[in-house]
Every structure is written in structure tokens, then in C-alpha cells.
Structure 1
Amino acid sequence: MLKAVVFDLDGTLLDRDASLRRFLENQYYRLIHHLSHIPKGQYISRFIELDCKGYVWKDNVYQQLVQEFKVQGISWQDLLEDYIEEFQHSCIPFPNLISMLENLENNSIKLAMITNGKGQFQMDNIRGLGMEHYFDCILVSEQEGMKKPDPAIFHKALELLGVLPHEAMYIGDHPENDVKGAKSVGMVGVWKKNEAWECEDADFTIKDLGEIPLIVSGLQ
């Protein structure tokens, strides 16, 4: 019987691609005095390219941007600080996020989150989506000293929830970090489909968060 659902954040609950584009457009206009010599579209597209779907931390991205575009009057450290402080205000959820969480909560399903990333930054983004209060526990890799797909971080979430691996489902967009990592400890692995990867060994594949309650009810 399924008792808990554990989620990834970026690319699963947070529409990171849309959020990043919104943030970069806002940053460009907010700092236009320093960036006006760069075409807006070029600034955004180059950042996205260097960002590699979030797997390159932004200190490296901004250092490269400042060098390539010969940015004057503002340092890469200032740009990074702006990213850390302001990204949370550009967070866009995937459709049906809150209704899905409320459905699971109303059906007494325990909820947790495991996300790789910087601790305070990820927590700010979770709050930016207005969903922190739905979760019984939230594990961020930097704060935990371990990251997906390390089995230890999945086991810690299960322990905090008080459930066995086969009583829990994990939902994420990355085939290795999320689906394979969860299945390796005995959890049900659900892949949130995207265009960046292929995933052939998920127990379930979804396109929309609204599909999750149906899968959960079928496993109860």
C-alpha cells in the first residue's frame, strides 16, 4: 500500500526553464545600465547554454558571461548575488501543482522532497512556489552533505516519513538521479517526462502533475 510520495524540485514541480527565462529577462532590464550593449536575446540564450539545465553552478556561468560580453561596472559576483536573491521571485510552477498536492494531502499521503542544489537557494524557491507547508520533510543536498542518486539521501527521507521503500513513490525528471536512484532503494520510480532525456525503466511516466493522484489511487 502506498503511503508516501517524494518529489524532485527542478523540472518536476518547478518549471525551471520558464522560471529561468523570466528571471533572465527581469535581470537584464534590472541591470540594463551594465548590460545594454548585449542584445537581450543573446544574453538569455548564452546563459541558458552555459547553464546546462542547471547542472553548472552560476559562479562559472557569470564569470564566462562577463568575460565573453566584456561586462563593465558590475562584477560576476554581483550578478551571482542578484541571481541568488532574485530568482525566487520568478518561480513558475508546472500546471496543477497545488491541486495535486492538496489531493494527496487530503488522502492522507505523506509528502517529502529531495532536491540537489544549494540549501538556502532551493528553500527560497520552494517558498516562492507557495508549497513549503505541504511537505513533511524537505532534503536539500548541500544541507544534507549527500546528493541524488546516493541511496543514503533516499533512505533518510523514508526514515523521516516513517515508511518502507515499497510504500513510497518518487517522482522526478532525471532518469539517473531520480528514477534510477529511487528504484535502487526499492521505491516506485516515476519519470516526469521532458525533452532533455529518455527514460526506459520508470515504473510510470507522466506528462502532467495532475496524473499523479490517479497513479497513487491505483497503488492503494
Structure 2
Amino acid sequence: MRVEAVIFDLDNTLINRKLAFRNYTRSFIEQFINVSGEEQIENIMEYIRIADLDGYRDRKDLFEYLRVNCELKKSNTNLDELLGHWFSEFFKCTILMDGTMDLLNNISAHNIKLGLITNGSVFTQNAKIDQVGIRRFFDTIIISDEVKVKKPDAAIFMIALDLLQTKAEHSWYIGDHPLNDVKGARDAGLNAVWFRGFIEWDQNIKVSKYIIDKLCELEEIIFQ
């Protein structure tokens, strides 16, 4: 199969959002929440992880929930302070997924166009991309808040294909979310690869033909 473009999701695909959020949560607790030892820190970290809904919960809703339900060091801490901490500190915790740089370098060496499609805010997603220095690899980067359409809507995939000037049947999309990434890309006509290990497969969605557990496994699929 001719490969014209490889397009990636960002969180829990090229960057390890799960690990980054854990690191951020620890600093958030140290800054704002009363704790009495490592065991309590771990318990609160798990509490926040569950409340975060893998990043799909609105930030204002999440931090208002934490402000009301956690024992804060300062009872008068307001929502704006908590959100300010998020926007100033979370992107600094960004960590590349194992194998990201090698994979992007190897695909680039084949003169294949590279794209990125991510749901999220323009500031946060751009800050994470620049924090780990991967912007230079991509011919186009699509952020949902910027184009006013989000995955799994086929329109966001078509925007990327138009900008890359590639055809869906000769393009691959890789992501961790069964609905937003795999089904969304598949419905838009792309070849979709599921990055397993972060979100459970939705049994209402047709099983993915292509599955990887590590980024280093991707080249074997797309260059077969």
C-alpha cells in the first residue's frame, strides 16, 4: 500500500499524558492540598485521576470539583488560582512516549507527510508540543478549538487531509481513543491504528484491524 501521510493523535500517543498528569497532580497537591504523608498523597492522586476522566472533563468543572471536595491549605483559594496553576504548570510536565523521536525521524526519512490532530485548547496543546520539541516534524497540526470541530467528527480529519494534500486511503491515523481516534479516522476513510493500553475498547465499535502496544510497532504495520 502506498503511504502518503501518517497522522497522529497527541495525548497518550506521542506524549504520555497519563504519566504527565500524575506528575502534575503531585505538584498540585503539594501546592494546594493539606496532606499527612505519602499514603494520603497517593490516595488523593488517585482521586484526582478518576475525577479527571482521562482529560475529557472540562477544566473549570474539574477544578471547581476539587476546590469544593478537597481540604485546601487556604480555604479562600478560588477557582482562578487553581486554573492559573494548571495553565502555567501542566505543560511543563509533558513527557514523550517511548520511541516518539525515533518513529518521527524514521517516517520523515521516507519523505512521508506527517500530521497531528488533537482535541483540546490551542494554548495547552501548543505548549505541550513545544515543550517536547516535536513541532518541526509536522507538515500540519490541527487543534480542535482552533478549527471549531473535534474528533470523532470526520470533518477534522478531512481538514488535515486537505492541508496535507493527501488521500484518505493512502493515509494512516494513530491514536489511543477507540471512538475519537479509531472510529473517527476510519469513518473518514483513513487507515486507523489503535494505540492500546490507555482507554478500554468500546464494545459497540467494530474491533480495530490494526493494534499496537508500543510506538516502535507502528512501522511494521504501515510499511508492510
TM bin, normalised by shorter chain, reads over 0.9
Give yes or no for the alignment of 1:79 onto 2:82.
yes
- Map of 1:56-95 to 2, 5 A cutoff? 56-71=57-72, 72-95=75-98
User: Which secondary structure does the structure 2 equivalent of 1:138 belong to?
Assistant: strand
Partner of 1:36: 34
Give yes or no for the alignment of 1:214 onto 2:220.
yes
For 2:94 and 2:198, the matched residues in 1 are separated by 20
RMSD of aligned C-alpha atoms? 1.5
User: Which secondary structure does the structure 2 equivalent of 1:112 belong to?
Assistant: strand
Shift of 1:207: 0.6
For 1:18 and 1:7, the matched residues in 2 are separated by 19
For 2:117 and 2:161, the matched residues in 1 are separated by 11
For 2:43 and 2:213, the matched residues in 1 are separated by 30
For 2:9 and 2:216, the matched residues in 1 are separated by 16
Aligned residues of 1:15 and 1:93 also touching (Cα < 8 A): yes
For 1:181 and 1:78, the matched residues in 2 are separated by 36
Percent identity at matched positions? 30
Q: Taking structure 1 as reference, are residues 98 and 212 closer, same or farther at Cα in structure 2, changes over 3 Å only?
A: same
User: Which secondary structure does the structure 1 equivalent of 2:223 belong to?
Assistant: helix
Number of residue pairs the alignment of both structures matches: 215
Partner of 1:120: 123
Give yes or no for the alignment of 1:184 onto 2:187.
yes
Aligned residues of 2:151 and 2:184 also touching (Cα < 8 A): yes
Amino acid at match of 2:34: S
Q: TM-score, normalised by structure 1?
A: 0.92
- Map of 1:189-200 to 2, 5 A cutoff? 189-198=192-201, 200=206
Shift of 1:41: 2.3
Aligned residues of 1:188 and 1:203 also touching (Cα < 8 A): no
Shift of 1:140: 0.6
Shift of 1:80: 1.2
Aligned residues of 1:173 and 1:193 also touching (Cα < 8 A): yes
Shift of 1:103: 0.2
Partner of 1:205: 211
Amino acid at match of 1:202: S
User: Which secondary structure does the structure 2 equivalent of 1:111 belong to?
Assistant: strand
Aligned residues of 1:3 and 1:167 also touching (Cα < 8 A): yes
Where do 5+ consecutive residues of structure 2 fail to align?
Answer: none
Give yes or no for the alignment of 1:168 onto 2:171.
yes
User: Which secondary structure does the structure 2 equivalent of 1:12 belong to?
Assistant: coil
Where do 5+ consecutive residues of structure 1 fail to align?
Answer: none
Shift of 1:44: 1.5
User: Which secondary structure does the structure 2 equivalent of 1:171 belong to?
Assistant: strand
For 1:197 and 1:41, the matched residues in 2 are separated by 23
Amino acid at match of 2:53: C
For 1:5 and 1:180, the matched residues in 2 are separated by 16
For 1:51 and 1:59, the matched residues in 2 are separated by 11
